[in-house]
Every structure is written in structure tokens, then in C-alpha cells.
Amino acid sequence: MKSGFKIMDSDMHLREPADLWDKYMEPEWRERAPKVLSSTARSSAMVMIEGKILQGYQPTYRGGIFDATRIDKEIADYRAQGFDAKTQLQAMDREGLDVAALYPSIGLGIMMRDDMDPKLAAAIARAYNNWLYDFCQTDPKRLKGVGMIPLHDPNEAVKEAQRAVGKLEFVGVFARPEPLRNMPWHARYFDTVWSALEELGVPLGFHSAAAAGEVPQIGDRFGDNLLLRHVVSHPLENMMAMADTIGGGVCERHPKLKLAFLECYCGWVSFLLHRMDNAMEKGGFPTAGKLKPSEYFQRQCWISTEHEKELPMIIDLVGDDKIVFSTDYPHGDSDFRTRWRSFLRWTACRTRAGRRFSGITARGLYGLA
């Protein structure tokens, strides 16, 4: 708690240990386990899968992304201790976080290969989720897992989502907004996954990354300029995923599905919804359904914020019950330890709106009391 607010982080990251998959892959899959080749001190660790480097954060990328001098000083002790669960809780205490939904770093890109064996993808996801379960057991009331699902095979994705939520007690699952095989999210291929998540009552959190793995990404045109990739990929890939799921009829066909759009800022959401509503009024979306796109958003979607000057305006436009707070700890662009303090400078965030997006809205998204 900080300044009288009970705070839930809707998108806090982990630093997976380099030997995670070596230790947690089932024996029959261990020889094919992903190999982390460089330090996990940063999310830019290279990964080899079946003898091939997964394209992503390559050493040739110019200049990394950020000058992380400040955040490196803040988290130096945590890095020295291997970013274990104890240090995660210490970081939460310093920021004033009561609860956090936990997303990966390396794991955001490890499944991004179109031709991956679906059974191997499922084994990779199970290993990550089993490790995450053990991590969260240090304090399960505060550390809430968000599971990895293998979308290379919808049936395997459903099985792992059911296990992650039913057995491991995770509060959601995640996917990159860049779909495998360049397949739109509204394709019927994914319908069994959406139906399962409706039944489970947990959200799918869309979360991009500057490194696309080996699937097409809007940042590809920038080549090795990782900073430009990062600037455009997070918001634009999430914009396309939102347009796809709403305009393509996913929300119409699956009215109880919950979708979260994370680490992409929120200043664009009103613009996109207005543009979609206008297109619906003028020409219609044949597959969308009967509601306005903005009405589907209000019914089924959430978006995270990371201290944007446009936030008071967005609260007025889309409501304080659709926006969730995020720190992005411990990544290089995180304002760790100062993020919530920054929100409190705005009058709008010291009132009902602040209380809602500081924790109430995120608890509702993730199904927590």
C-alpha cells in the first residue's frame, strides 16, 4: 500500500533463470529444452531451440534499447540474488505494491517460431508454468501467475490453460499480439481457446516485445534499430490485435471473454475506438456483430497505463474501470520505485479514478476479491 491506495500491478515482469528449461522440462523433452546462451540479467538473453538461435535480441542490434543506468542501480542487489521470489517481493514493497500479476521476460519470445513442433511448444509452456508456480509459492497471496499457452495447437493451448488455472491457480494467460503463421485472431482456428478462457473466467493478456522472434512484426522495417522497434511495436501490434478481436467478431462470438492490452500505453485507445465506431457507422464490419466497437471494448477489454500525461483525458473518454496500472519492473524503461508517486501528481488520480485503476480494476480483470 502507498499513500492510502491498495495497489495491484497488472503487468510486473520476472527474470527467468538461465537453467529454467533445463531443470523443469519433463525428462522425455529435456534434450530438446531451450538453451539460454547469454546472461538473464536482461531480457535480451539469446535462446537456442533445437540447434537454432531464436531470432530476437541479437548482439548486432545497435545500442540496445535504453540507457538503463538508473534502473540498473535500483535493481543491482536483486540481480546479484538471481531475481528470485524474495527479491520480487522486496521490489514490490519498495514500490508499494500489494499484489502483482507476473509476466515473463525471455518467455515473451520463446514461442515465436511458426514451425515449432506443437508438442515441443506444449512442453516448453508446461515447464515455464511449473517453474512459475514454484516461484509464486513464496507468497501466493501477493504473487499471481499468468500462464504461457502453446498456440501452435489450439487443443494443447486449451489443455494448458485449464491446467494453469485449475491446478496451478493462475489468474490469466498471455499471448503476443503478433499471431503465429500471420493468422488473424478472429480466425476460427482460435475459437476453442476463446471458449475455454470464457469458461475459466480468466483474461488473455496481449503483450508485445521489441524482439518478434521469427514471426512478422510491424517493427521489421527498422531492421537492427531496436529502439524504433520498441517504440512502434508495443502500441501498434496491440492496436491491430484490438481491431482484430473486436472488428473480426471474436468479442461478439465470445461475450464472456476478457482481453487485456498491456505495456502499450493507453493514449491511443480512444482514437482507435472512435475510428472503428465511425467506420462501423459509415460502412459496417461484416464480422463484428451488432454492437459498436467501443461497446465491445467497454464490455470485454482492459488496457494498462504506465504514467502517461494523457491519462486524465483517457479516463474521461473510456472510464476509470477500463484502465489498469503497470510498473513494467524490472525492464530498462521502467520507472520502478517512482511510478506510483508520479500518478499522484494528478488530481484525477487522487480521487475515485486513482483508487480504481490502482487496484480495484485490475483485481476485477484477474478475478481477485
**pLDDT level of residue 288 (50, 70, 90 thresholds):** confident
Q: Please name the residues in contact with 71: beta carbons below 8 A apart, sequence gap of 6 or more.
A: 330, 331, 332, 334, 336
pLDDT at 59 over 50: no
Angle between helix axes 269-282 and 293-300 (nearest 10 degrees) is 140
For residues 274 and 337, the model is more confident at 274
Percent of the chain at pLDDT > 90 equals 60
213 located within any domain: yes
Is 3 domain-assigned?
A: no
Identify any residues that bridge with 172 across adjacent strands, giving them in sequence order. 146
Domain assignment present for 1: no
Q: Look-up: residue for cell 468479442?
A: 251
Residue with grid cell 502517461, as numbered in its chain: 308
Give the domain CATH number at 279: 3.20.20.140
Instruction: Confirm whether 2 is domain-assigned.
Output: no
Pick from 5, 32, 15: which is nearest to 76 by CA? Answer: 15
- What order of strands is seen across the sheet that includes strand 35-36? 35-36, 47-49, 52-53
Q: Is residue 21 one of the residues assigned to a domain?
A: yes
pTM: 0.92
147 has a pLDDT exceeding 80: yes
Task: Give the model confidence (pLDDT) of 305-318 as tens digits.
Answer: 887 878 888 888 88
For the chain, how many structural domains are there in total? 1
Q: Within a domain: residue 152?
A: yes
Structural domain for 113, as ranges: 8-366
pLDDT at residue 268, as a whole number? 94
Nearest to 57 by CA among 72, 47, 68: 47
Q: Provide mean pLDDT across the span 79-102.
A: 90
* Residue % of the chain over a pLDDT of 70: 84
Specify if 354 maps to a domain.
yes
